[in-house]
Structures are given as C-alpha cells and as structure tokens.
Amino acid sequence: MFFFGLGYTAERLAARLLSAGWRVSGTVREPEKRDAFEARGIGATLFGPDIPLESPDRAFEGVTHLISSIPPVEAGDPALLAHGEAIRATETLRWIGYLSTPAVYGDRQGGVARENDPPNPGSARGHRRLAAEQAWKEAFDDVAPVQIFRLAGIYGPGTRNAIAQVKAGSARIIDKPGQVFNRIHVDDIGSILLASMARPRPGGIYNVADNEACASGDVIRHACALLGVDPPVPIPFDSDSLSPMARSFYSECKRLDTTRLVEELKVQLEYPTYREGLAAILTAHEAIPE
C-alpha cells in the first residue's frame, strides 16, 4: 500500500495493514513525521504541492494498492500533477482509492444525496474535489480499478471527537435549525476501504458515512451527558464569531445514503451512529491510566 498523505485516516489503516503483513509506505510533509513513521516500519517520504518525491520510480516499486487523500490545489491534484506518469507506469498496481468529500453534491437542503445523483458543488472546495475525482478516474481507469470515497465528517480516538472537545473546553454548538450532516468513525473508514480492495469495481463511488444524519449539537450534548457536564450555550449561525470556513461548512445540509456500502461492499459498520462511537472512545480513554 502507498498512501499519498499519511494523515489521520491513513495512519489508522496503515497500522491494520502492517499487522496483517502488508508493506506500507506513503508521504508526509515534515521530516519529524517521516522519522516517526519510519520507526514504526512505515516507509515515509516527503511530498507536497511544492515538494516532489525524490525517487518516484523507487517509491512506487511493487505497489499494488494506492490511496490518495491530499486535498487538491487550484492547479489540480498534487499527486497527479507531479507523478501521474510514474503511477501509470507501475505495472503491479491493482487498486486505487481516492478519498473525496460530500461537498461535491452541494447543498441538498436536508435531502438525501446518493452516489448516482449529479454532483452540484456550491463551494470552491467542492469544485476542486469533483475535478480531482474525475482526474483520477480519467488517468487510471485503464490501469487499475479507481474507487471514489466521499467521506462524511471524520471522528475517532485522540482529539478528533466530541469527548475530547468537551474536556478541552473547545466544544461548540452552532444553532442553525434543520441543519444536519453525517459523520463516520475513522476505523469504519478503514473497514470500508478494505472491503473495496476485496471487491473492486471500476469507477465505483461510495458515500462513506454512518446511519444517522443529525445536528452537530446532538453529538456535543450526548458527549456532555456521557461526561456528566452541562452542554455549552448554543451559538447562533449568524454570529460574528463563526469563521468563514465554519460558515461555509454549515451553509450546506444533506443526508448521505449508504445503501451501496451494505449491498455492494457487504459492510456492517462497527459504529453505526455517534452513540456507539463516543461510547467506545470514552471506554478506551477511561482504561488509560492518568
């Protein structure tokens, strides 16, 4: 496996692959992260929009599976711009996964977004991701099955969850009536990617999400209840304290259909809603000595 972007999701999946006997490598942006991954047996090399791989031929040697999660820039997808030809020349390649976003659907005003729906991005981020999806499919559909995964809001162990946010005092409830979205536990993402590797379909597109779209405040309030503390005071959506990024995120509202995960990939989520996910995170945290 080669990961363009050894971030949160890739790091969790890399650990599972290593334990199953895979050879795992990928890219990072900082030398310190490269050294940390190397110490764990994961081959890491520096890469970014302004940092090409030192030896792309050697980096892709023997690679059978490749996942890219690096956000596209205005000029396009960094991995394709720098190393598209080297990837195409990798004769061992059997499967490609591109991690995208539901922003490609645009705002559905609370309606359901399905993989067969025509994309209609309403943000620059959505437009760039849709262009990257199409670029990966066009570049490699004749080389290996390209799979597109549109990931809902990612949470999991560490700091990327409502339990940690409440404990840190950084949890916020944004009050925008009717606004809902899905989320997905990071380890369920890994299971979905593994299922796709076992059942690749050329051009496959999958919504990667849990079974319950809800308001973000529901998750924060549930985390507060688990911890036995009062929830924060809601912040109106029109508040000046919201950043442009937060305002952009909350401007779209959709529910992701995940029928294809069950019927095609035969996936049963370990954490079908945030309740199971937060309960597992809290249990794991309480098991760790202070």
Instruction: Average pLDDT across each block of 10 residues of the chain; the chain has 290 residues. List them in order.
Output: 97 97 96 95 93 87 96 94 94 97 94 96 93 96 95 96 96 90 97 97 96 95 97 85 73 94 97 97 69
Cα distance between residue 67 and residue 17, in whole Å = 13
CATH topology assigned to domain 2-157+183-209+256-271: Rossmann fold (3.40.50)
Helix (H) or strand (E) holding 115: none
Cα distance between residue 233 and residue 225, in whole Å = 14
CB atoms within 10 A of CB 32: 8
Q: Quick one: pLDDT at residue 288? A: 52
Structural domain boundaries of the chain? 2-157+183-209+256-271
72, two tokens = 């596209």
CA angle, 211 then 215 then 218, to 5°: 90
Q: Quick one: pLDDT at residue 151? A: 98
Asked if 202 contacts 146 with a C-beta cutoff of 8 angstroms, the reply is yes
Q: Quick one: pLDDT at residue 2? A: 98
Nearest to residue 210, comparing CAs of 224, 240, 189? Answer: 189
Nearest to residue 257, comparing CAs of 189, 211, 203? Answer: 211
pTM, to two decimals? 0.94
Asked if 227 contacts 281 with a C-beta cutoff of 8 angstroms, the reply is no
211, two tokens = 């079974």
Q: Is 260 helix (H, G, I), strand (E, B) or coil?
A: helix
Nearest to residue 282, comparing CAs of 228, 211, 231? Answer: 228
Q: Write down how long the chain is.
A: 290
Cα distance between residue 100 and residue 85, in whole Å = 22
Q: Quick one: pLDDT at residue 289? A: 46
181, two tokens = 């979205």
Cα distance between residue 242 and residue 248, in whole Å = 10
